């Protein structure tokens, strides 16, 4: 199957599995499992009273081979994201809309077929939401926002079987709109971007030698677009 065909197939699968769209609910997130060759999808599905996270596997014929709820909490579970390791393990992260919002994740072991229990991300004293997830250098990473009354911070940490490090604060902003956090990994480079003001995108890179994130840099988009600014950031990160 060509890359174009895979993209079209993923889009079709996402549309077919999408719940009734309401404000604030993201579309399904879709990945190809390179080990099994199957399409794995997560979405926030409406139960009649609240949103739950659903995990669905679609085979090469476009048929749903399995589907299950990863949570049945009474609060809304939103914005699920999935990433798949080179050995076929799936990691799913989402956020729960409670008094103090919390980001949680579960891991699916490809070899055993078992899911871990929910595990929280970040600190229990912080309100965390809108995770983005990527598999980089043999580790699953999640980036997300921490919100309080005066500002928002972008945090990142590893989520895996190893002892989990405390989350790192990558940057802080007073921007009150959608930060649209994006976490990316390409040719050995890991970086995160977010909207810092109405006219610039902020970004930071992870330094594997120091086990730390770089100082925050900025790229304006007042003359073009957020997408164009992110393309320039990518070029800088990858030394194009």
Query: What average pLDDT score do residues 83-108 get?
Result: 97
**pLDDT value for 166:** 82
- Count of Cβ atoms closer than 10 Å to residue 132 Cβ: 24
CA distance 121 to 131: 10
Q: Which long-range contacts (CB under 8 A, 24 or more apart) does 32-39 make?
A: 32/6, 32/84, 33/84, 33/88, 33/90, 33/110, 34/84, 34/86, 34/88, 35/84, 35/86, 35/87, 35/88, 35/110, 36/88, 36/110, 38/65, 39/9, 39/10, 39/13
Which structure tokens are listed for 150? 């005066």
131 phi, psi to nearest 5 deg: -75, 155
Angle formed at CA 85 by CA 79 and CA 86, multiple of 5 degrees = 150
The predicted model scores a pTM of 0.89
> 19 falls in which pLDDT band (50, 70, 90)?
very low
- Matching residue, tokens 């949570």: 71
136 phi, psi to nearest 5 deg: -135, 130
At residue 206, the 3 state secondary structure works out as strand
Nearest CA among 175, 191, 173 for reference residue 183: 191
Which structure tokens are listed for 161? 């079987």
Of the CA atoms within 13 Å of residue 137, those in its CB half-sphere come to: 14
Q: Which region among 17-31, 157-171, 176-190, 222-236 has the lowest average model confidence (pLDDT)?
A: 17-31
CA distance 151 to 97: 19
Eight-class DSSP state of 226: H
Query: What average pLDDT score do residues 27-47 get?
Result: 95
**pLDDT value for 61:** 75
- Could you tell me how many helices (H) and strands (E) the chain has, helices first? 2, 17
Structural contact between residues 55 and 45, judged by C-beta atoms closer than 8 angstroms: no
Structural contact between residues 146 and 127, judged by C-beta atoms closer than 8 angstroms: yes
Each residue of 150-169: pLDDT tens digit?
899 999 999 986 666 789 99
CA distance 135 to 137: 7
Domain boundaries, the chain: 122-240
Query: What average pLDDT score do residues 185-194 get?
Result: 97
């Amino acid at each position: 199957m060509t890359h174009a065909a895979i993209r079209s197939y993923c889009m079709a699968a996402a549309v077919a599995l999408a719940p009734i769209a309401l404000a604030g609910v993201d579309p399904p997130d879709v990945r190809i499992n390179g080990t099994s060759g199957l399409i794995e999808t997560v979405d926030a599905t409406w139960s009649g009273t609240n949103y739950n996270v659903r995990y669905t596997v679609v085979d090469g014929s476009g048929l749903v081979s399995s589907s299950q709820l990863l949570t049945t909490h009474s609060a809304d579970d939103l914005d699920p994201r999935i990433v798949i390791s080179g050995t076929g393990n799936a990691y799913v992260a989402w956020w729960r809309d409670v008094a103090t919002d919390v980001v949680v994740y579960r891991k699916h072991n490809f070899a055993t077929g078992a899911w871990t229990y929910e595990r929280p991300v970040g600190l229990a004293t912080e309100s965390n939401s809108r995770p983005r997830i990527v598999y980089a250098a043999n580790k699953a990473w999640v980036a997300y926002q921490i919100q309080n009354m005066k500002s928002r911070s972008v945090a990142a940490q590893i989520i895996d079987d190893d002892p989990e490090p405390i989350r790192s604060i990558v940057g802080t902003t007073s921007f009150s709109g959608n930060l649209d956090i994006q976490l990316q990994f390409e040719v050995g480079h890991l970086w995160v971007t977010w909207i810092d003001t109405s006219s610039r995108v902020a970004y930071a890179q992870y330094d594997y030698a120091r086990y730390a994130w770089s100082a925050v840099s900025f790229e304006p988009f007042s003359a073009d677009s957020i997408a164009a600014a992110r393309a320039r950031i990518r070029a800088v990160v990858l030394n194009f």
